Amino acid sequence: MNEEAREQLDQINVEEQTKKLQELRNLGIDPYGVPFPEKHSIQDIRSHPEKFLDQDVLLRIAGRIMAIRRHGKAIFADVQDRLGRIQIYVKKDTIGDDSFGIFKSLDVGDVIGLEGKLFKTHSGELTIVVENFSLLSKCLHPLPEKWHGLREVEVRYRKRYLDLIMNPEVRKVFQTRSRVLSELRKYLDERDYLEVETPMMQLIPGGALARPFVTFHNALGIDLYLRIAPELYLKRLIVGGMEKVYEINRNFRNEGISVRHNPEFTMLELYQAYGNYETMMNLCEQMLSSIVFSILGTYEVNYQDMAIDFTPPWRRLNLREVIQKEGGIDIFEDSLETLYQRGKKAGLNCDQTWDRGKYVNEFLDIFVQPHLVNPTFVLEYPVEISPLAKAKKNDPLVAERFELFIGKEELGNAYSELNDPIEQKKRFLDQVKKRDRGDVEAHLIDQDYVEALEYGMPPTGGMGIGIDRLVMLLTNSSSIREVIFFPILRPKID
């Protein structure tokens, strides 16, 4: 059935259900009824039926009718709440003629509350015999067809509420997402990290190399930017003596949309005074492996036909060495002309304006990332593409930085934070030159941040981890849109 035909049938159904709505109101029934608190969980009933099979236990459940089977003076129906589904049994002799007539007029999709007692049918099916019920919300639209559910991807993302009603596996994805956030908070709170909040609207977008969204504040008469990262504000807190902070934050980057990118996404960023990138590496390894085990009960994760082992310790690779091994390129010693020729040979759409950092990122994507299935730290990035990271003492061209790759995707980024205000200002000025050459993702100068560093920031390790991609891994989701309730989509054209 095409979309136009579905919309016509839907309109017919809405008209029919609207008539039923009025009939109920004429009977003095509020079709969008009263609250129904202190209810039992269907999951709890199913998990521990022995607690409720005693005929003296009166159960209270509420949920959506997902199926109705009418048999003369008896009706069977399936009711679903957020965690489970159970059969109910409505007998005319039990609830009376008037109530039975009302229940008989209900439809799949309606939300009800009921009281009743649990028993098992001859086939062993747990069932609640209804003694009282209330209509809590009338559904005017037909739910997607019973056997095929809601499978059209575009419709699922646009109407996530229907996706959640019809697809229990989707609800499980988002329940796992909630657990990931809870476990991260628990892990960090137990280690004396303080959860904080920093501005989502900023005067100067900083903390990452990305294109920001811009808005205008009418009262102040100034442009503001949705944050691309909270980094510079979190490090201001380190200057202020907070020492160990984290934020589970929403970031906004005005970039492309793909199965791995959404313009609005969630990150964990954390900072620890008196540490460095090795501190972050150890924390990352222990934190993520323990959370994976806590949620899944194993270190083994199956993701997109890849078997991933989160068992620590994790592999550590030197960026320069691994690109040289896999691609035959020395990212520090080869000339830009050599990098250009090698990039062309590798199929890159490169040109003579590319700087060394651009080649490094592209060669990493081509030669290294596709081989990184198990958790792997790739270390020692060029300072040129790490403007906020501290350089190694014995090699000023190399930053104390790592990126974490799992399942052939980047999941995290961390470094020893640059705390020298003079060097930081110089790096910002270098970024300004890049902007002047047309790099819209280069940093602006944040003079207030530089001034904060002038008050003295202790040696610090910082790290960011992509929450959406982590949830993708743990739920075997192929697209970031599968783990975000309401992903950004193109407007629907009528």
Question: What architecture is the 3-143 domain classified under in CATH?
Answer: Beta Barrel (2.40)
**Mean of the pLDDT values across residues 50-66?**
92
- 147 pLDDT higher than 50: no
Identify the residue with better confidence: 494 or 82.
82
pLDDT, averaged across the chain: 94
Burial (Cβ within 10 Å: 0-12, 13-18, ≥19) of residue 485: middle
Say what the pLDDT of residue 1 is. Answer: 56
Tell me the pLDDT tens digit for each residue of 157-180.
999 999 999 999 999 999 999 999
Listed by start position, the domains of the chain span 3-143, 166-314+374-482
State residue 208's pLDDT score.
Answer: 86
Using the predicted structure, report yes or no on whether residue 494 has a pLDDT greater than 70.
no
φ and ψ of 184, to 5 deg? -60, -45
pLDDT in tens, 212-249: 999 999 999 999 999 999 999 999 999 999 999 999 99
- Maximal CA-CA distance, the chain: 89
Looking at residue 9, its pLDDT comes to 77
What pLDDT, in 10s, does the model give residues 95-119? 999 999 999 999 999 999 999 999 9
SS3 assignment for the chain: CCHHHHHHHHHHHHHHHHHHHHHHHHCCCCCCCCCCCCCCCHHHHHHCHHHCCCCCCCEEEEEEEEEEEEECCEEEEEEECCCCEEEEEEEHHHHCHHHHHHHHCCCCCCEEEEEEEEEECCCCCEEEEEEEEEEEECCCCCCCCCCCCCCCHHHHHHCHHHHHHHCHHHHHHHHHHHHHHHHHHHHHHHCCCEECCCCCEECCCCCCCCCCCEEEECCCCEEEEECCCCHHHHHHHHHCCCCEEEEEEEEECCCCCCCCCCCEEEEEEEEEECCCHHHHHHHHHHHHHHHHHHHHCCCEEEECCEEEECCCCCEEEEHHHHHHHHHCCCCCCCCHHHHHHHHHHCCCCCCCCCCHHHHHHHHHHHHHHHHCCCCEEEECCEHHHCCCECEECCEEEEECEEEEEECCEEEEEEEEECCCHHHHHHHHHHHHHHHHCCCCCCCCCCHHHHHHHHCCCCCEEEEEEEHHHHHHHHHCCCCHHHCCCCCCCCCCCC
- The structure's pTM equals 0.93
Query: What pLDDT does 2 receive?
Result: 63
Weakest mean pLDDT among 34-43, 192-201, 411-420: 34-43
Contact 144, 126 (CB under 8 A): no
Locus of tokens 């530089």? 450
Return d(Cα 481, Cα 490) in angstroms, integer: 13
Superfamily of domain covering 166-314+374-482: Bira Bifunctional Protein; Domain 2 (3.30.930.10)
The 10s digit of each residue's pLDDT in 331-352 is: 999 999 999 999 999 999 998 8
